[in-house]
Amino acid sequence: MSKPASRPSLADRLAAVAGPQISPSAVIEKEAAQAVKAQAPKISSAATREPEPEPASVSSVTKARVGKTMIAGYFTPQMARAVKMLAVERDTTVQALIGEGLDAVLHKHGKHPMGER
Domains in the chain: boundaries: 74-116
pLDDT in tens, 80-108: 999 999 999 999 999 999 999 999 999 89
Residue 99: other Cβ atoms inside 10 A: 18
Helices first, then strands: H and E counts in the chain: 5, 0
Residue 107: other Cβ atoms inside 10 A: 11
Helix (H, G, I), strand (E, B) or coil at 45: coil
Residue scoring higher pLDDT (112 or 20)? 112
Q: Which residues contact 96 (CB under 8 A, 6 or more apart)?
A: 87, 117
**CA gap 3, 61 in Å, rounded:** 92
